[in-house]
């Protein structure tokens, strides 16, 4: 693969595994912290198990089983609160699980501290991340070790266990309408995409961790687990650096320490030399969640585990393959929690500074390119306008999407609106409203003298 000139110059660091006392996350269960007599009664009950666990990986957890599992954890532990974000096109619930010590009461409590959001199984035919998320919820709720308690006292964990319930029920990549919701984080045409946008707006998670699966291409694309940070050039440099650190110094080393091979998502490598051959995915387009969250000032990471059986034993027994897929997700998650626990003193300042930078309204905005692919000249707005003016008709058409994205607009008496660049979502505004942007919602008029 021909080397591409990156936008940023990075200091090369040697990957190493960081330790975090979250043993209950992977290896054990224990009694929860209790807050009421009702919960004390629940303590005598054994911890709930998923359908995947009870079948030893022979099948995936059903949605009724997920509902009952989460309800049982919610009843048993003061650390967990389960809410409903909304409903899918077929009426299935989109659930949000809030975890802390105790569970954070609302979005404001989460937004005021370090937070990690897990988005599980956006693609309905990629179920291993969902299983890892479900058991992680339980293990964090029931763990009694001091390390987990300290972690949850300082970090809110948010989990969307099934981001695409209709697709999971059908075993399809897309939702009930066949839409890939991981390509809908700009247009927000789906109930699932809109719920995620509202979640990002209201909770402002510092780190967003997106769990997927991929199909191998032998011999160039065969690692057990791949990861990738936001490549979109509108991601703040500080947030971008933390996202790369999450991938290269925590998630991949944690998976490697558990015996799984790792690589960078979207890059084929030579099986002999390990050198890159070509890039087949993983660009900087803003509508993909890992890029969207970067533009929205959160540390983002995409993690993909390999679906294909690796051995003759896995081919003969699908349960072995299923368990390996879930185990690799759990190993990588351990690294993600290590990152959140150890680097909170860097993560929070990075995301806070990124959110404030937009108010300075300085610097170019990028309509294309990536951190490993310089943008074309016509993909760079070197001197952005102070804002964009929407006609009354345009504003009526896109005002709901702007609000879901957290983009502020000043409506005028005639129904038109001005969206200034001087706001937290500065890098997102042209991607939504400039007619040159690939996925724009409206072709608004650049404003002068805002």
pLDDT tens digits along 59-71? 999 999 999 999 9
Tokens of 314: 């896995």
pLDDT at 169: 98
Rounded Cα distance, 89 and 190, in Å: 8
pLDDT above 90: residue 441 = yes
pLDDT at residue 11 above 90? no
Determine which helix (DSSP H) or strand (DSSP E) holds 299, and give its type and residue range: strand 299-306
Domains along the sequence of the chain with CATH: 23-354 (3.40.630.10), 384-447 (no CATH)
Cα separation, 153 vs 357, in Å, equals 29
pLDDT of residue 80: 97
CB-count burial class (<10 Å; 0-12, 13-18, 19+) for 111: middle
Q: Which pLDDT belongs to residue 18?
A: 35
Rounded Cα gap, residues 279 and 1, in angstroms: 7
The per-residue pLDDT for range 100-129, each reduced to its tens digit, is 999 898 888 887 889 999 999 999 999 999
Q: What is the pLDDT of residue 227?
A: 98
Distance separating alpha carbons of residues 145 and 27, to the nearest angstrom = 12
Report the pLDDT averaged over residues 206-226: 97
**Does pLDDT of 35 surpass 50?**
no
Buried/exposed code over 188-219 (b: 16+ C-beta within 10 A; e: otherwise): bebbbbbbbbbbbbbbbbbbbbbbbbbeeeee
287: number of Cβ within 10 Å? 19
Among 441, 387, 438, 448, which residue's Cα sits nearest to residue 417? Answer: 387
Under DSSP, is residue 291 helix (H, G, I), strand (E, B) or coil? Answer: helix
Residues 172, 52: contact at Cβ < 8 Å?
no
> What is the per-residue DSSP string for 189-254?
-SHHHHHHHHHHHHH--SEEEEEEEE--BTTTB--SEEEE----TTS-HHHHHHHHHIIIIIIHHH
CA atoms within 13 A on the CB side of 448: 0
Q: Are 73 and 138 in contact (CB under 8 A)?
A: yes
- Cis peptide leading into 68, omega within 30 of 0? no
Query: Helices in 310-369 by DSSP H: which ranges?
Result: 312-316, 318-342, 344-357
CA-wise closest residue to 86 among 335, 404, 313:
404
Kindly report, residue by residue over 305-348, the tens digit of the pLDDT: 999 999 999 999 999 999 999 999 999 999 999 999 999 999 99
Nearest to 407 by CA among 388, 425, 430: 425
pLDDT digits (tens, 9 = 90+) for 342-397: 999 999 999 999 999 999 999 999 999 999 999 999 999 999 999 999 999 999 99
Element (H, E) at 161: none
- What does pLDDT average to over the chain? 91
The rounded distance, in Å, linking the Cα atoms of 296 and 405 is: 9
Q: Which two tokens stand for residue 236?
A: 């703040």
- Locate tokens 């959001």: which residue? 117
């Amino acid at each position: 693969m021909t080397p591409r000139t990156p936008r940023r110059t990075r200091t090369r660091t040697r990957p190493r595994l960081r330790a975090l006392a979250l043993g209950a996350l992977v290896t054990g269960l224990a009694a929860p912290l209790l807050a009421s007599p009702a919960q004390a009664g629940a303590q005598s009950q054994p911890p709930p198990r998923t359908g995947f666990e009870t079948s030893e990986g022979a099948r995936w957890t059903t949605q009724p089983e997920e509902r009952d599992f989460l309800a049982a954890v919610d009843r048993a532990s003061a650390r967990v609160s389960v809410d409903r974000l909304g409903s899918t096109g077929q009426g299935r619930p989109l659930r949000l699980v809030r975890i802390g010590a105790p569970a954070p009461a609302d979005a404001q409590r989460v937004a005021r501290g370090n937070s990690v959001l897990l988005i599980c199984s956006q693609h309905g035919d990629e179920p291993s991340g969902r299983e890892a998320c479900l058991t992680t919820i339980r293990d964090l709720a029931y763990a009694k070790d001091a390390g987990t308690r300290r972690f949850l006292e300082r970090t809110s964990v948010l989990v969307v266990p099934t981001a695409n319930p209709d697709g999971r029920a059908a075993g399809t990549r897309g939702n009930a309408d066949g839409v890939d919701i991981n390509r809908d984080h700009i247009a927000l045409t789906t109930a699932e995409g809109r719920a995620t946008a509202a979640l990002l707006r209201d909770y402002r998670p510092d780190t967003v961790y997106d769990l997927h699966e991929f199909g191998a291409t032998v011999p160039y694309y065969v690692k057990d687990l791949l990861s990738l940070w936001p490549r979109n050039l509108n991601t703040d440099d500080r947030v971008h650096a933390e996202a790369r650190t999450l991938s290269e110094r925590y998630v991949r080393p944690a998976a490697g320490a558990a015996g799984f091979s790792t690589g960078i998502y979207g890059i084929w490598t030579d099986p002999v030399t390990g050198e890159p051959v070509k890039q087949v995915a993983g660009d900087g387009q803003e509508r993909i969640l890992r890029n969207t969250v970067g533009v929205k000032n959160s540390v983002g990471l995409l993690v993909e585990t390999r679906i294909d059986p690796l051995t003759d034993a896995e081919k003969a027994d699908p349960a072995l393959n299923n368990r390996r897929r879930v185990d690799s997700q759990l190993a990588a998650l351990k690294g993600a929690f290590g990152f959140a626990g150890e680097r909170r003193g860097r993560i929070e300042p990075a995301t806070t500074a990124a959110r404030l930078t937009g108010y300075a309204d300085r610097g170019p905005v990028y309509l294309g390119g990536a951190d490993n692919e310089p943008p074309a000249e016509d993909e760079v707005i070197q001197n952005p306008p102070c804002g964009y003016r929407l006609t009354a008709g345009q504003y009526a058409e896109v005002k709901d999407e702007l609000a879901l994205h957290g983009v502020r607009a000043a409506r005028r008496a005639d129904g038109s609106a001005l969206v200034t660049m001087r706001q937290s979502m500065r890098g997102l505004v042209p991607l939504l409203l400039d007619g040159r942007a690939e996925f724009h919602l409206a072709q608004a008029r650049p404003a002068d003298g805002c």
